[in-house]
A and B are shown apart, each in its own frame.
Chain A
Amino acid sequence: MESSSAETGALMCNSLDAGDGCVMHQLLQRCRRSEEHDNMLKKIETSEEEMSDEASLLNINTNRNQDKGRKSHIQSKKKSSSGYISKHDITHQEEEEAFVQGSRHMIMLFVPVTLCMIVVVATIASVSYYSETNVYFVYTPFHDKTEDTTTIVWQSTANAMILLCLIIVMTLVLLTLYTFRFYKIINGWLMIASVILLFFFGFVYLQQILRAFNVPMDYITVSLLLWNFGVGGIFCIHWKGPLLLQQAYLIVISAFVALTFIKHMPEWTTWAMLGVLVIWDLFAVLYPKGPLRLLVETAQQRNEPTFPFPALIYSSTMLWQITVADSDQTELDKKQNLPNKSGERESRPLPAASGEFSAQGTTSRSAGAAQPPLNRSPMPAAGAQLPSTSAQIQSAGAHMPLLATDASASRNEEKMSELNVMSKQDFPRDVASLMDSSDVDALDSPFMAKTSFESDVDDLNELGDGSPTDPPAVTSKKPKQQQSKSAHLLHHRHSRPSTKPSHTDRSKSVTDDKEDRGVKLGLGDFVFYGVLVGKASAKGDWNTTIACFVAILIGLCCTLLLLAIFRKALPALPISLTFGLVFNFATSILVKPFMESLASEQVYI
């Protein structure tokens, strides 16, 4: 059985890469390609265009296959497992599934959002430094201490407008840089921003914490701590590191920025700015010519995977845009405790980081083995979705839309181009990536992307069932498994004898790839959630804080639900911030006196 399956796989590979022939050839080709990286980018673009027609066809295919697969897999009572299924039926089912899947994604965002808020609130509660404003941002020139309502209104509106202009300018700068492919500049910008955040803000934070708890500490220790903290952060965010650590750093950075906003902005300006941001976020993400939307679209047109700049987006699963291959591997190591993996990883050259490759961890990994490490500048391209820059975060308020994997059409294009690349490479891994891309397609909704925590063979099966690109290969789960197995066998033979990826390995990386397209949340969203909750808690009423917290989470829930329905990049701020603002003011004005009198009289409702 095994051998036959392997043969099938090999055959498939061959048929896929019919044009190219032997692996050596492809290796050579790949090397060449790495030198002519730019050329390749162009090639891909053109191929994408060529494929766009086919893509739409494929899309239909996908849906049908997916449906078929699912039905046969679960043997549901519904009939007509073959044949055409009405579009309505498909979307209905997809929505339901998306909803179920969505719950897990919600939690994966709830946890970091909650942690970020807890850090901010705990700091506000224990360190008075952050709740008293005496130095103001340059951007908020109007900060008279007055009780006069008119003055407060016009001053806070003016401040908010200045901040908004700053945000717009920064977004446009990023958009321009991105449009003209100044990836290095963007990367440098983000790098500098994170260095400043980690070192300077980290220092201020540490200083204030020590001061608040009256702990003496010498400068040598402090500098050692800071150095380790900062360099570790830079590594984790911009290069590679454990996933948890990276997520933790992103949360901490968001909390720092939120605290800075809370400290340096006049009270009413903060509220006005949050209100203005709601509108701006709606506009920038949803309006056809909105800058953030343009960013997202540009990225899709370029076929760059939906990865953002790592420093700007929190992703529930993988964050190493640059080193997806490694992260893949790390995950595997973690999950399967394969000891030989880590050694292998070390020995592996830096993964080549073209956007196309990163779309499939496996491919990039194998590519990395063959290619000299590439300059990773193309990577950030992935960040197209990032609506904002860290500079913005730092200074004014970056907010990014909640990202979803996008419309199937663009996905298809993406996939097609991937296919293209791969078939040229003629690498055994291609089969896997093929499956991957098809999976991705099958999983149009963001929620459909599975999380790594749950990836298992079942996922693979489902995915395989949906594969449109190679219908004969993937109509049922069996063939899929065989295929993947054979793929890894081939791969094993040719490129990396030391690895012994198991069948599950294969499936895992496939699912991981798919997961990369899971739900992402801009750090800006974290920042402004933190600002809202922190500002609410700065008044010293815990009820308001809790109300804001629950309201924001519910808002996030609603946004994610909408994400499942619309399946395109959505702004995460509007619903949450609106709920948060409403509940903040309602609680502090109406509920607080009521609850206070109840609590002081010990009356329970």
Chain B
Amino acid sequence: MTLMEFFGCTFIAFGLPFALFIFTIARDPMRVIVLIASAFFWLMSLLLSSILWYAVVPLRDKLAFGLVFSVIFQECFRFLFYKTLRRADEGLLKVSLQNTSQHVTPKDFLNQHIMAYVSGLGFGVIAGAFSIINVLADMSGPGTIGIMGDSKYFFWTSAFLTLCFILLHTVWSVVFFAALDKKNYSIVACVVATHMMVSCLTLLNQRSSEEHSIVYLGSIIPSYVCLFVMTALAFNAAGGSFTNLKVAFACRKGRYEID
């Protein structure tokens, strides 16, 4: 039973990101490296926020404090990563245009959204992994959830929220990078604001208990609504439109390719 729960939650949280990784990233070494590098950036931001949380002893049990600064740090590092990537792009673009036989195709650099997507996924995957992997380890047993008066939906919610955050990070990065490219700072602020909002909403989860599982809906539903809105924004930022969407559903060869 615990094993089933473990696999179920693992697949809920990481199934979709894993598929994204396999189909869009794994085959391109450059993308894999960018993915890992962005994960490293997220790790640095987490480290900074942990240091802050650890250093400010009196507020250590107030998670809201750590959370707010963590979100700020994450967005800062997203910006830093954007800067790094754009700087690297200039050189890489030049080379990849010259060397058509190289594995790195120019489209990765000509189409800025690809690297934005890859780095977003890197952020998301590492964030998701950090937030759920120890829960997953506990999930595989022995033991059972809910005996001490906690909600029995604990794992289930964790998995869905993790999935939501992984995807949110991905689309946030796309929107964020595109907005910075166009110097549209209101959108950038919007990304930071939604991140802050969704994260703060998850503070509600602390109130859940065996009788009050319904509380979870208060964080899950807004998170997923936000995810859909941001996805639409990202789709739009990447040049998508309603017409594109309709075309995508027509049957033709190579329609799942990203470029």
In the complex, the answer to whether B49 meets A454 with C-beta atoms within 8 Å is: no
The CA of A260 and the CA of B33, in the complex, are separated in Å by: 31
Q: How far is the CB of A542 from chain B (nearest CB, A)?
A: 4
Judged by a CB distance under 8 angstroms, whether A147 is at the interface is no
Bits for A594-605, please: 1 = Cβ < 8 Å to B, else 0.
Answer: 111111011111
**For residue B43, which residues in chain A have a CB less than 8 angstroms away from its CB?**
547, 550-551, 583
Q: Is the CB of B33 within 8 A of A106?
A: yes
Contact across chains for A106 and B29 when beta carbons are under 8 A apart: yes
Contact of A604 with B199 in the complex, beta carbons under 8 Å: yes
Contact of B53 among A74, A462, A594 (CB under 8 A): A594
Report the separation of the CA atoms of residues A103 and B130 in the bound assembly, to the nearest whole angstrom: 26
Determine which of A101, A454, A542, A594 lies in contact with B134 in the assembled complex, contact meaning CB atoms within 8 Å: A542
Complex Cα distance A601/B66, Å?
13
Q: With A and B bound together, what is the CA distance between A454 and B103 in angstroms?
A: 8
The reply to whether A602 and B161 contact each other, CB–CB distance below 8 Å, is yes
Residues of B46-81 whose CB lies within 8 A of A: 46-47, 49-51, 53-54, 61, 63, 66-67, 70-71, 74
Smallest Cβ distance from B7 to chain A, in angstroms?
Answer: 16
Total number of A residues with any Cβ neighbor in B under 8 Å: 46
A591 to B46, CA, bound (A): 7
- Chain B residues with CB under 8 A of A603: 63, 67, 199, 202-203, 205-206
A546 to B54, CA, bound (A): 21
**Residue in A closest to B102 when the chains form the complex, CB atoms:** A100
- Given known A550-B36, A594-B66, contact A604–B161 (CB-CB < 8 A): yes
Quick one: which of B158-183 are within 8 Å of A by CB?
158, 161-162, 165
Indicate whether A590 sits within 8 Å of B94 (C-beta atoms), given known contacts A107-B33, A557-B33, A605-B70.
no
Contact between B133 and A99, CB atoms less than 8 A apart = no
Structural contact, A543 and B91, CB atoms closer than 8 A: no
Say whether B102 contacts A542, CB under 8 Å: no
Instruction: Judge whether A551 and B40 touch: CB under 8 Å.
Output: yes
Q: How far is the CA of A604 from the CA of B98 in the complex (A)?
A: 44
Whether a CB of chain B sits under 8 angstroms from the CB of A458 is yes
Smallest Cβ-Cβ distance to A557: which chain B residue? B33
Per-residue CB contact flags for chain A residues 562-605 toward chain B (1 = under 8 Å, else 0) read 00000000000000000000010011001101111111011111
> Which residues of chain B (72-97) have a CB below 8 Å from chain A?
74, 91-92, 94-96
Interface residues in A44-89 (C-beta closer than 8 Å to B)? 70, 74, 76
Q: Which of A100, A546, A557, A591 contacts B99 (CB 8 A)?
A: A100
Q: Indicate whether B154 reaches chain A with its CB closer than 8 angstroms.
A: yes
Q: Quick one: given A100-B104, A103-B30, are A594 and B49 in contact (CB under 8 Å)?
A: yes
- A550 and B126 within 8 A (CB): yes
Within 8 A of A (CB), among B105-147: 126-127, 129-137
List residues of chain A with CB within 8 A of the CB of B71: 605
Contact A593 B54 (CB under 8 A): yes
Q: Does A344 contact B (CB under 8 A)?
A: no
- Among A99, A459, A604, which residue has its beta carbon within 8 angstroms of that of B202? A604
Q: Does chain B have a CB within 8 A of A553?
A: yes
Given A602-B206, A605-B199: A97 and B67 within 8 A (CB)? no
- B101 interfacial by beta-carbon distance below 8 Å: yes
Interface residues of A in 249-307 (CB under 8 A from B): none
Chain B residue at minimum C-beta to C-beta distance from A125: B137
Does more than half of chain A's interface fall in helix, strand or loop, or is it mixed?
A: helix
Set of chain A residues within 8 Å of B129, measured between Cβ atoms? 546
Q: A547: nearest residue on chain B (CB-CB)?
A: B43
Most buried by B among A543, A587, A604: A604
Tell me whether A605 and B30 are in contact (CB under 8 A): no
A550-B47 Cα distance, complex, nearest whole Å: 13
Q: Is the CB of A97 within 8 A of B95?
A: yes
**Pairwise interchain contact A100-B95, C-beta atoms closer than 8 A:** yes
A188 to B135, CA, bound (A): 49
Chain A, range 95-126, C-beta contacts under 8 Å to B: 96-97, 99-101, 103-104, 106-107, 110
Closest residue on chain B to residue A75 by CB atoms = B98
Shortest C-beta distance, A66 to chain B (Å), equals 13
* A554 contacts chain B at the CB level, 8 A cutoff: yes
Is the CB of A35 closer than 8 A to any CB of chain B? no
Q: Are B50 and A554 in contact (CB under 8 A)?
A: no
Verify if B39 is at the interface (C-beta below 8 Å from A). yes
Q: Does A38 contact B (CB under 8 A)?
A: no
Q: Could you tell me if B154 and A602 are in contact, using CB atoms closer than 8 angstroms?
A: yes
What are the residues of chain A within 8 A of B47 when measuring CB–CB? Answer: 583, 586-587, 590-591
Asked if A541 and B134 make an inter-chain contact with CB atoms under 8 angstroms apart, the answer reads yes
CB contacts (< 8 Å) of A542 on chain B: these are 133-134, 136-137
Q: Tell whether, in the assembled complex, residue B32 and residue A110 are in contact, meaning their CB atoms are under 8 Å apart.
A: yes
Are A590 and B99 in contact (CB-based, < 8 A)?
no
**Other-chain contact of A594, B29, B54, B132, B137 (Cβ < 8 Å):** B54
Q: How far is the CB of B214 from chain A (nearest CB, A)?
A: 14
Contact call B30/A595, Cβ cutoff below 8 A: no
Residues of B within 8 A of A547 (CB): 43
- Knowing A550-B126, A590-B47, A604-B165 are in contact, say whether A599-B36 is a contact too (CB < 8 A): no
Interface flag for B157 (CB, 8 Å) = yes
Query: In the complex, how many angstroms separate the beta carbon of B42 from the nearest chain A beta carbon?
Result: 9
Least CB separation from B201: chain A residue:
A604
B-contacting residues, A433-461, CB 8 Å: 454, 456, 458-459
**Bound CA span A28–B99, Å:** 45
Bound form: Cα–Cα A591–B165 in Å: 19
- Asked whether B12 is an interface residue with its Cβ less than 8 Å from the other chain, the reply is no
If A550-B39, A597-B63 touch, whether A605 touches B127 (CB-CB below 8 Å) is yes
**Contact across chains for A103 and B36 when beta carbons are under 8 A apart:** no
Which one of B29, B94, B135 contacts A103 once the chains associate, using CB atoms below 8 Å? B29
Beyond the given A100-B96, A591-B46, please list 10 additional residue pairs across the A-B interface where CB-CB is below 8 A. A70-B98, A103-B33, A542-B137, A550-B40, A550-B126, A587-B47, A594-B53, A602-B158, A603-B67, A603-B202
A-B contact pairs, 11 of them (CB 8 A): A70-B99, A550-B39, A554-B40, A583-B43, A590-B50, A591-B47, A594-B54, A595-B50, A599-B134, A603-B63, A605-B70
- Where the two chains meet, the residues of A that have a C-beta atom closer than 8 Å to any C-beta of B are 70, 74, 76, 96-97, 99-101, 103-104, 106-107, 110, 454, 456, 458-459, 462, 540-543, 546-547, 550-551, 553-554, 557, 583, 586-587, 590-591, 593-599, 601-605
Those 5 A-B pairs whose CB atoms lie nearest each other, nearest first: A602-B205, A107-B29, A458-B101, A590-B50, A103-B29
